[in-house]
Structures are given as C-alpha cells and as structure tokens.
Amino acid sequence: MPTEISEKILSEVIKTRKSATHKGNYGRILLIGGSDNYGGAIIMATEGAINVGAGLTAVATHSVNLTALHARDPEAMFIDWHDKGLPALIKKMDVIVCGPGLGMSTMAQQLLKILKENVTAKQTVVLDASALDLVAQDKNFLPSNAGHLVLTPHQMEWQRVSQLRIPFQTDQANLTALKQLVPQGNVTLILKSNHTHVYGEDGSVFINPIGNPGMATGGMGDTLAGIVGGMIAQFGPDLKTILAAVYLHSYAGDQLYEDNYVVKPTALSQSLPKIMKKYATSLEKC
C-alpha cells in the first residue's frame, strides 16, 4: 500500500531563510522547452520555479517566446535555444527541467542530445512532457549520467515510455518498468493523475491524497515541473523535497478551488510564496 503524503512534509522541507545568504544559495535552474507553438508551457514552468524561490532561473526556448517570457517574468534570464552558449550554461546549473512545450522536432531532439552530453553527476534533471515522449521513441535520449533524474509523466506519457497501458499501471508494474528504464536507480517517478503516485529510488511508493478537478487545465503539469525543479534547486534532490513539491502544488490548487471554479496554473504559481512563508514560519516557531 502506498504511503499518503501529508501536510507535515511542507514544514519538514521548507526552511526559513537565513540572513547571511544570497541568490547563489538558493540554486540555479535552467528550463528547456517552449517551441514556437507551446511557449506558454515553458513560461508556466518558469513561473512555478520562480515562485517557489529558485535563486537564479534561466530559460532556453525558441526566440519567439522572449517578449512574452520577459513581459510576464522579468526575473528569468533568457537564452535562444539555438545559441552555441547553451552547453556552457547547462554545466553551471544545479537543476535542469526539460520538456514543457518542447515539441518533437529535430531541434527538440538536438536539445535532449546537448543536455545528455553536458549534464554531470552533480546535477538533477527533471524530464516532463515532450522530453518523455522523445525518450519513449528512443531510450538513448535519457540523460542517465545526471546525478538524479525526476520523471513527471501523466498516465499517457508513462504508457508511451513504459509500454504499460493505463489500466495496467499498478505500483508493482510501475516500479519494475522504472527499474528497467533506469537500472542504476538514481530516479524518482512522479506519475501524475487525480491522485498522483510518487516512486522513490528505494522502491517506496507514495500517494498524494489532495488536489481537485479544478486543476484539470492545460499548463498544470508544466507548473508542477517548475515547482519540482525550483524546490530541488533550493532544498536538494531528496525524496522528501520531491514529495513536498507534489503536495505543495495540490495544496495551493485546493486553496484556490475553495472559491474558484477552475484553478489557473498562473494563479497557482502566484499563490506559492505566501503558502511557503506560512510553513517556513511554523518551523521557526517550533
């Protein structure tokens, strides 16, 4: 039976910030994605990362997305995904999130190749959306040399990657498929649904008991990918950080759903700093 993630994970993971710190202490994150059709996806992922407090956030995307990105999020740095400086930038990062709105083009494939060639064991890679669909087509795209991998498929993306049809995605089958995909085991699977399951590298299984159907709207998973990346950038790639990120996303969604019919991903991101302050403060008082 999976263990339920509970509210206490938030105060366990979210730390009150110390005075003698600067942005470099809260992690560097690069988000890669956003084709000419799907710019919104990488912007929503970026908003997730910025609003959980990543210290420095950079975005590698199609140049057509620059104005929209900077109009919404001047906190984010930008690099054209064709830029020859991308490999050097990847090397400077703590966390790389790849996939939201990436698409399936030759360029998208090239970007995954560049990521794989430049990532090191000190870094965490979060793969979402199109990046997972490309891995489903060719397992060589998996950046297995990263120190830690986090995969965030929805059920259909996981079907494509694991070859397990949705009704057959049981915890045991998912763990077996994950082991086959990443035999070295430095991987966490966040299998998204109305009650997301999280599979740790030690074979542990967790279920998220919260969340709501107001969250069933395009961009909600992109936002989660950014939240997961931003939390790891600050608090490290432990399973607890990942569980806290999943819980926080749904907790914020539930707060908004109390008096909104639909939960907009951008509104969810806006609400995160206040929620995090509350949980960090409660730890301070202990």
Closest C-alpha to 218, from 277, 255, 262, 168: 262
196 appears as a binding residue in the annotation: yes
Q: Is 136 annotated as a binding residue?
A: no
State the CB neighbour count (10 A cutoff) for residue 239: 16
**Binding of ligand ADP by 85 (CB under 6 A):** no
CA dihedral angle for residue 69, residue 73, residue 79, residue 81, rounded to 10 degrees: -40
Residue 95 or 225 having the CB closest to ligand NPW: 225
Backbone phi and psi for residue 21, each to the nearest 5 degrees, phi listed first? -135, 165
Q: Which does 220 bind (CB under 5 to 8 A by kind): ligand ADP, ligand NPW, Mg ion, none?
A: ligand ADP
Positions in the binding site for ligand NPW (CB under 6 A): 38, 40-41, 100-103, 129-130, 154-157, 193, 218-219, 221-222
Short-list 25, 53, 99, CA closest to 231: 53
**Which residues partner with 98 through β-bridges?**
32, 127
The β-bridge partners of 96 are 30, 125
195 is in an annotated binding site: yes
Asked whether residue 238 is marked as a ligand-binding residue, the answer is: no
Which of ligand NPW, Mg ion, ligand ADP, none does residue 216 bind to, with CB < 5 to 8 Å depending on kind? ligand ADP
Provide the Cα torsion 12, 224, 220, 246; round to 10°: -30
Quote the least distance from Cβ 130 to Mg ion, whole Å. 9
88-117: b (≥16 Cβ within 10 Å) or e:
ebbeebbbbbbbbbbbeeeebbebbebbbe
Is the dihedral angle over the CA atoms 175, 44, 147, 129 positive or is it negative? positive
Region from 14-22, 88-96, 187-195, 237-245 binding ligand ADP, contact rule CB under 6 A = 187-195
DSSP at 82: T
Least distance (Å) between residue 58 CB and ligand NPW: 19
Segment 101 to 140, residues that bind Mg ion, using CB under 5 A: 129
Point out which span in 18-26, 140-148, 192-200, 276-284 binds ligand ADP (CB under 6 A): 192-200
| Size, binding site for ligand ADP by CB under 6 A | 17
The span from the CA of 224 to the CA of 219, in Å, is 9
Q: Is 192 annotated as a binding residue?
A: yes
Structure tokens that stand for 111 in this block: 């970007």
The item of Mg ion, ligand ADP, ligand NPW, none sharing an interface with residue 101, based on CB under 5 to 8 Å by kind, is ligand NPW
Which of 21, 194, 260, 281 is in the footprint of ligand ADP by CB under 6 A?
Answer: 194
Say whether residue 221 binds Mg ion (CB under 5 A): yes
What single letter denotes the amino acid at residue 47?
Answer: E
Residues ≥6 apart with Cβ < 8 Å to 151 = 127, 132, 161, 178, 187, 188, 189, 190
**Residue 197 marked as a ligand binder:** no
Q: Is 91 annotated as a binding residue?
A: no
Interaction residues for ligand ADP, span 208-227 (CB under 6 A): 211-213, 215-216, 218-222, 224
CA-atom Rg of the chain in angstroms: 17
Q: List the interface residues with ligand ADP, window 122-141 (CB under 6 A).
A: 129
C-alpha–C-alpha distance, residues 103 and 130, integer Å: 5
Footprint on this chain of ligand ADP (rule: CB under 6 A) = 129, 154, 192-194, 196, 211-213, 215-216, 218-222, 224
Provide the annotated binding site: 41, 101, 154, 192-196, 221-222
Provide the annotated binding site for AMP: 192-196, 221
Footprint on this chain of Mg ion (rule: CB under 5 A) = 129, 221
